[in-house]
Amino acid sequence: MSSSYFVNVTDSFADRLTAQGLQHVLAALLEKQNNPTDAILWTDCGGYVRFDLDVPISDETVQGLGADNYIMPIRFIRTEKNAGDLPSNLPSRFMEDYEDRKAQNAAFYEVVRTGQRDAELPPKPLMWDVLRTINPAALPGWTNILSNWWVLRENQSLVVGLILDLYSQLPNPVNEAEDYWRQLDKQHGWDIKPDATCQQFFNPDQGKGQNRAKADAVSVGNMKGFWLPEFLKMVGFYRDAVTRTVAGGKDRKIFVIEPRRMSYGDHAAIMARFKPTITSEASTRFDILAALRYCLVLLDYYFERAPENNPLMAMLGESIQQNLVGGFRTAFYMDLGNAVATMNVSAIALPGWVRVPEPADVPALRDTLNELITFTRQFDEKNSDAFTLLQLLRDFVSGDDLDAFFRLTNAFSGYYMGQRERGKYAYQLTTPTIERIISMTNPKLSDILQSEGFRNIAAAIRQSTVLAQYRKASGDRLYDIRYGLGQNLTRVARKGKEAEFMAALADFIHLYNAENARIYEVRKVQYRKNVTTNDLNEITALLDEYGAPTIARMLVAYGYARQLKDEAPEEMPPEDSVIEDDN
């Protein structure tokens, strides 16, 4: 047998599911011959995924598959309605009881909803989200294809051999494999057709509709495909897909991971840690939090092993997105009762700036990721201002777009001031996080952050805006609050308009220093540090080198951030409060 296997992939996550499914079948076969599953290495080669096995699957292993020695990588789903449709000789270990899992899920969320924090939580069925996705819309197709696999267990050597032959060639000869299946079916009298319905949850671009490959007619029937790749998609979905309802309704979002280069063992361990971190969210927050939380789990997992594994540390030292995992393929489905409609198919990338040059950098990077998660969770997509901020945040997280980050921090300055003025919750990023994001995304800007003049002027902006407003809320109205300062500075800072920006900045500094002098004259105490001519000279030099737009946006980002010595942030509502029961 071959030691390498290949799966052709396109932009849809259906092909990634096929690859995930094949990976699990390969792992099951390696277990049959007592070889470690870590011997499987996933490599993204662009138009195809390659699996390299340190230990080839032997002909004896495949030929030995049969009635008393077979593999079942997924389970049947038993409901009250379909119990009579399942094979009568099916062992219970190959079956998920839908009603039992539903009851377990309800018990878990009853404790969460009633706030019984001292009560012991019943076990949360981790497979429930997958079962709820499949039933009812995809359950008939699931049962039909899995029944084929079960019925053929006595001839599993032929079926598995065909799968291995199909994916040991590039491009995958699917049409030839279908023809060969017809010959096998006729020879053995199985009466199993080669084609099966392409379930929309596993094939978001192939549901009912006008989907003819050749546009010579219009048809709204289901698409068909060779049943063995459809089986592998089911395996990949069951074992690896992350599926949750969108908060506030029954619409659903599905995420499928897109590794770059990763062993089977690492992938399985990371997914086991990652899945429990994902809760029901609004759509845009879903994307952002999935990317950040996976990155955090991956970072923790690899760092635990890195001290004894220098090559692994080298992988972390460069872009995690480029070396380990690119991100997720996603699909958004609208609930139509007993059916679904695909509304959107997209991709979300992991942050490309996440890398670990040294092991000592991990704690700070973890703080940054956790802070971005808390920052994201504060925004309610039903609010138009918050939705705009989330879109900018997603552009930054998924696209490494520092311009989007600066547009986010500029817009957040107004959002924050408005929220606090109305006495509502608002969470700021901290200055260390701002520094890490800017320096890791564009190291050339690090010199700006090290300028004492830049820091002093940014501190003056902070004193006149967020800190002045904080003191006002505490009953201290000593200093005026400069509403709209951040938006005004970035508005006048256009390319080639350094003079206009400097004039606006000078006006602010004049008022700031004058206010300091007035308070000192009355109180005989200097509460705030003045901006000096040296500070202005440094900013002028930075303007000449970097331009007004960059300096203005960085001043606003840094000036409206919270310093760790400032007031403590308000507590974010507990995560359990946003969990929704998917019944």
Residue 483 predicted with pLDDT over 90: yes
Please, are residues 53 and 31 in contact by the beta-carbon 8 Å criterion?
no
Higher local confidence (pLDDT), 472 or 463: 463
Residue 153 predicted with pLDDT over 80: yes
Please, are residues 303 and 362 in contact by the beta-carbon 8 Å criterion?
yes
- pLDDT-derived band of residue 476, with 50, 70 and 90 as boundaries? confident
Residue 302 predicted with pLDDT over 70: yes
Tell which phi-psi region holds residue 34, choosing left (phi > 0), alpha (psi between -120 and 50) or beta.
left
Please classify residue 268 by burial: count the beta carbons closer than 10 Å to its beta carbon, then call 0-12 exposed, 13-18 middle and 19+ buried.
Answer: middle
Q: What is the pLDDT of residue 570?
A: 47
Residue 326 predicted with pLDDT over 60: yes
Give CA separation, 405 vs 180, 197, 379, in Å: 54, 44, 16
Residue 138 predicted with pLDDT over 80: yes
Residue 134 predicted with pLDDT over 70: yes
Residue 43 predicted with pLDDT over 90: yes
Q: What is the pLDDT of residue 400?
A: 83
Structure tokens at 222: 């289901």
What is the model's pTM? 0.90
Residue 574 predicted with pLDDT over 50: no
Q: Taking residues 274-281, report their average pLDDT.
A: 90
Please, are residues 285 and 379 in contact by the beta-carbon 8 Å criterion?
yes
State the Cα–Cα distance between residues 381 and 573, nearest whole angstrom: 16
Least confident stretch, 14-23, 131-140, 459-468, 574-583: 574-583
Residue 330 predicted with pLDDT over 70: yes
- pLDDT-derived band of residue 417, with 50, 70 and 90 as boundaries? very high
Q: What is the pLDDT of residue 201?
A: 87
Q: How many CA atoms within 13 Å lie on the side-chain side of 210? A: 4
Please classify residue 19 by burial: count the beta carbons closer than 10 Å to its beta carbon, then call 0-12 exposed, 13-18 middle and 19+ buried.
Answer: buried
- pLDDT-derived band of residue 578, with 50, 70 and 90 as boundaries? very low
Q: Mention every residue, 6+ apart, whose C-beta is less than 8 A from residue 564.
A: 430, 431, 432
Q: Is 34 helix (H, G, I), strand (E, B) or coil?
A: coil
Q: Taking residues 432-461, report their average pLDDT.
A: 94
Please, are residues 101 and 131 in contact by the beta-carbon 8 Å criterion?
yes
Q: Is 66 helix (H, G, I), strand (E, B) or coil?
A: strand
The count of residues in the chain is: 583
Q: What is the pLDDT of residue 495?
A: 72
State the Cα–Cα distance between residues 161 and 61, nearest whole angstrom: 10
Please, are residues 207 and 342 in contact by the beta-carbon 8 Å criterion?
yes
Give CA separation, 69 vs 32, 66, 143, 159, in Å: 9, 5, 22, 14
Q: Taking residues 321-348, report their average pLDDT.
A: 89
Q: Mention every residue, 6+ apart, whose C-beta is less than 8 A from residue 14.
A: 202, 203, 204, 205, 206, 233
Higher local confidence (pLDDT), 214 or 352: 352
Q: What is the mean pLDDT of the chain?
A: 89
- pLDDT-derived band of residue 308, with 50, 70 and 90 as boundaries? low
pLDDT digits (tens, 9 = 90+) for 387-396: 999 999 999 9
Residue 583 predicted with pLDDT over 60: no
Residues 137, 138, 143, 145, Cα dihedral to 10°: 150
Q: What is the pLDDT of residue 540?
A: 94
- Identity of the amino acid at 113: R
Percent share of the chain, pLDDT over 70: 90
- pLDDT-derived band of residue 2, with 50, 70 and 90 as boundaries? confident
Q: Mention every residue, 6+ apart, whose C-beta is less than 8 A from residue 287.
A: 330, 346, 348, 394, 398
State the Cα–Cα distance between residues 240 and 245, nearest whole angstrom: 17
Higher local confidence (pLDDT), 555 or 471: 555
Q: How many CA atoms within 13 Å lie on the side-chain side of 84? A: 1
Q: How many CB atoms lie within 10 A of CB 446?
A: 12
Residue 207 predicted with pLDDT over 60: no
Rounded to 5 degrees, φ, ψ at 197 are: -65, 135
Tell me which H or E stretch contains 75.
none
Q: Taking residues 309-332, report their average pLDDT.
A: 81
Q: What is the pLDDT of residue 428?
A: 95
Selection from 583, 577, 13 nearest residue 279 by Cα: 577
Residue 184 predicted with pLDDT over 90: yes
First to last CA, the chain: 45
Per mean pLDDT, which of 108-117, 320-329, 551-560 is the most reliable?
551-560
- pLDDT-derived band of residue 69, with 50, 70 and 90 as boundaries? very high
Q: What is the pLDDT of residue 193?
A: 95
